[in-house]
Amino acid sequence: MKTAEIARRFLDYFEKNGHTIVPSASLVTDDPALLFTVAGMVPFIPYLSGDVPSPYPRAADNQKCIRTNDIEEVGKTPRHGTFFQMLGNWSFGDYFKEGAIRFAWTLLTSPEEEGGLAFDPADLWVTVYEEDDEAYGLWQSVAGVSEDRIQRLGKDTNYWSTGLPGPAGPCSEIFFDRGPAYGIDGGPATDDDRYVEIWNLVFMQYEITNVRSKYDFDIVGELPAKNIDTGMGLERVAFIKQGVDNMYETDQVRPVLDRAVALSGRTYGANHEDDVRFRVVADHVRSSLMLLSDGVTPSNDGRGYILRRLMRRAIRSMRLLGVDGPTFAELFTTSRDAMKEAYPVVETDWQRISQYALAEEETFLRTLAAGSTILDESVAQTKASGGTRIAGAEAFLLHDTYGFPIDLTLEIAEEAGLTVDRNAFDTLMQEQRARAKADAKARKRQLADTSVYRDLRAQGETVFTGYTDLETESSVLGLLVDGVSVDRATTGQIAEVILAETALYAESGGQVADKGVIVGPGYELEVLDVQKPVPGLVSHTVEVTTGEVGVGQAATTVVDAANRRAARQAHSATHLVHAALRDTLGKTATQAGSLNRAGYMRFDFAWGQALSDATKSEIEEISNNAVRDNLEVTTRVLALDEAKAAGAMALFGEKYGETVRMVDIGGPWSRELCAGTHVSTSSEVGLISLVGESSVGASNRRVEALVGLDAFRSLAAERALVSQLTSTLKTPREQLPARIAELQASLKAAEKKIAQFESRALADRLPALAGGATTVGTYRVVAESLGTAASADDVRSLALQVRDRLGSDAAVVALGAAVGDRPVVVVVTNEAARAAGAKAGVLAKAAATALGGGGGGRDDVAQGGGTDAAALPSALGAVKDALGAA
């Protein structure tokens, strides 16, 4: 039974049983505590917690998930995958334990011809929380499971909570017994790979507080509305139903594995280490494909870093399988073909997806080449010094700074007959992980407890009137101070105000929040920020500037009209620039993020190279032509599917409801899903002036523009600057570029002549320097400051010449100079000095320490530098001291 067929049967079954079928949410979650949708329940958290009323009493879905906390286990076990699909059925205060158990057991054990999955009950085991007698009894009475197939387990496996105050409850899991060939008897309690968990039923029935750990907390009482949260692992069910040993051999994953086998020329099943690598490739390529399809792009932080790590692990695994060249063109195409039936977007958006994948592979292959060069030098230096081990710090530098995998460092070192100080490397890695975990915990601690908004959200959604009105009368539904609900707030306090209606725009979709005030009888509030802490609820962060505000009082929101006008201009300008980019570059130049505020817009888009000046001018001209043409701006509220069918573009990672707001500028020329505020006609934008274009990742670019009066003021300032230059240089405006180029050429020629004079002056000092050599210990030493020098190369050249003049006796030359505003010390040694133990690299480090910097190099020539040029005499003295102590 194919994976897509299993999912279809699941959804059909629950739809027939009164469940609303909910589409999968994006892998990119808007939960600030998470980078990705890591579990099937993530999109339903507002409903499960009661923060937001559920729009349906029962639902079912097939949710895409990404989880990388067990990434090192991928390929080693039959069930660990970074991308997985979680089939779930949900009850929000509707049915509870009995219904959940009946639904699960019936679907699993019903014959295929009746739409079921046809599991033999004799192959299934059940676990329950050790104190949950109710569930234990229901498995017997409802499903007919015998006592010897039901096991009671503790909180660590059969109790669910988020680790934060809120809902929690016992859970019950269904396991499939793969048979004695896969492990010992004894049921799921043996924690063996023989028993594969395929379905988890969470009975969310308690409210917890005083959470000390995930399994240590106080139960406040039962929830007023008990919920059901279940998850059936689609990949796990698929590998069982398809009669294969693991998820990597299922129909959606195996084709990539087979393609990797063909590219490598090796055999799957012949070598355990190779098998793990093949599975890593198959899993990571599919995960990367799905992340790219949801708008994640490779980068060095956040979600983009996780994607980059997955892609680079796949490239590394192919290299360890003997393939050094590019493979993504074939591997990603194969994964696309395997996944397109379930997720058509991987085919319809293939051009953009493949562009990112191939660009990332090309970049990393260059990184590997560069890292190999650095590592080769480290190997050579280690061998030359008689060492047998590469320092852990060097291996970590390669990993952390250059993205060079430790596996390859170990492999190359082993080929050279060396080892790597793995303990030191691991220590540095642990320190880095500890910092990352501390940052994540801090971020989690900083999250507001959204339960405080629950009662307020239960009164209904905040009505936004700001599309048509700049003032709206309402009433104060709630007040929060420091996250705690209060009855009133007084002058000087910072508070959150919840209103029934508001004309103030809450930050979203790239548009920053409105400025304005909230006024009422005897009080005035300055609006500092407007946000949506939970879906559908608007919170105004305010400072009470006058009087006292209380719950239940009348309140009028007043929008700063000038700021809103400029913000509308910037947001509409963003849409115009997006359309111009697609006109100029093609349909793959899709939005990757934006920011617009009064007078300014920033737009990120998918593109792999810098834009030429001509292209930037063309984009600017198209955008301003659209302004000139006074295009009509219209908005419509319609069904999401209808909007997509009309060609409306959606922002990747943005959550959309069943109905959406579509904004057209000039009809279909610019058609996007957008909840922001806009001008009525394009001419109201006024003017768009592109002021910047830069890279924001391997395959993303950013354009920035000033809009309206801000654009005019910027151009006026440039005009004044040009006028000043024409006056100062006594040159007509059109001849300014040539005149400035002429002055630059003259300056460069003068600098070259000065450098030649300085070099000749240094060379003239050669006899005096050589003649002034002193004896330090057993060495003839020249340690002098040259004052200033044009370049470090000049200092090095002079030091080598002085050394040559000193003959065959052990000689060390250390010359210092200020190059620009930075001090430099060059140390050179001859063969006799090196034989006596003098190493230029060691001496240069000693000098650099005195200069407040760093240095090093070879034994014969080395260089140090720093920040304190006044310390050059001390630095040269440090060289002498080191030689005297030798």
| Positions at the binding site for Zn(2+) | 571, 575, 674, 678
Residue 255: count of CB within 10 angstroms of its CB: 18
Name the DSSP class of 515: P
Binding residues: 571, 575, 674, 678
Q: What DSSP line would sit under 777-821, residue for residue?
A: TTEEEEEEEEEE-S-HHHHHHHHHHHHHHTTTS-EEEEEEEEETT
Decide: residue 257, CB within 10 A, 0-12 exposed, 13-18 middle, 19+ buried.
buried
| Cα distance between residue 501 and residue 476, in whole Å | 9
Residue 569: partners with Cβ closer than 8 Å, 6 or more residues away = 598, 599, 679, 684, 685, 686, 707, 708
Cβ pair 811, 780 in contact under 8 A: yes
Question: H/E element holding 301?
Answer: none
| Cα distance between residue 803 and residue 860, in whole Å | 11
The beta strands (E) that lie in 674-831 are given as: 688-695, 700-707, 774-776, 779-788, 811-819, 822-829
Q: Helix 406-415 to helix 302-320 angle, to the nearest 10 degrees?
A: 30
Q: With H, G, I as helix, E, B as strand and everything else as coil, classify residue 286.
A: helix
Q: What DSSP line would sit under 594-614, residue for residue?
A: EEEETTEEEEEEE-SSPPPHH
Question: CA 137, 143, 147, 152 torsion: positive or negative?
Answer: negative
CA dihedral 411, 414, 418, 420 (to 10 degrees): 40
Q: Helix 254-264 to helix 302-320 angle, to the nearest 10 degrees?
A: 50
| Cα distance between residue 374 and residue 401, in whole Å | 12
Cβ pair 841, 856 in contact under 8 A: yes
Among 844, 767, 864, 776, which residue's Cα sits nearest to residue 806?
767
| Cα distance between residue 29 and residue 16, in whole Å | 29
Please name the residue ranges forming H helices in 73-158: 97-109, 133-141, 155-158
Q: What DSSP line would sit under 570-596, residue for residue?
A: HHHHHHHHHHHHHHHH-TT--EEEEEE
Q: Which two tokens stand for residue 524?
A: 């005035």
